[in-house]
Structure 1
Amino acid sequence: MMPYLLSAGAGILVGVIYALIGVRSPAPPTIALIGLLGMLVGEQVVPVVKRLIAGEPVVAFIQTDCARHVLGPHAGAETPPAVKATAQTAAQTAEGDKA
């Protein structure tokens, strides 16, 4: 929560400074926010493509790691059922190999 408060505080401070010196913000707020969202989503394209090429599970990665990166630390906090099932199967296989 603290990083969000610090970020909002920094934004307010910059807004006050802009107002005091009579400068308009460099981009309309909606355009700027859409651009930031595009950057966040774009950062996730490379890891997803790498996983696709490696044949690793992609949907679970998007639901957990990508969601957390784009939407914040609380997004994707619950483990998707497919990931749980895969982990359980892997654990059972590992136990079977040891026996």
Structure 2
Amino acid sequence: MTRFVTVLALTLFAAGLAAAAEDAVVVLPAKNGNVSFPHQKHKEALACTSCHETEKGGKIADLGKDWAHKTCMGCHKEKGKGPAKCNECHKK
């Protein structure tokens, strides 16, 4: 059952990002509470290749909790901006 939920969450994550409009807030499902990802805000602050394979966007090379924690939280902590604690991202 856990694998099913993980696969479903990753599928929705990938689909959500692929279909993200320029100013959309993408909601990423997570076991500890959904994470709202303001795509436009990040697009204005970072190069697309910070997350995507090319400057045109598209597929994100690696998905999942470990990738998100390393990439997102790592960036937030490094820049001193954005949420960096569990309950600041995950909302039930």
Structure whose residues are more often strand by fraction? 2
Structure of larger gyration radius: 1
Structure whose residues are more often helix by fraction? 1
TM-score (norm 1): 0.26
TM-score (norm 2): 0.27
Q: Higher relative CO (CA 8 A, sep ≥ 6), structure 1 or 2? A: 2
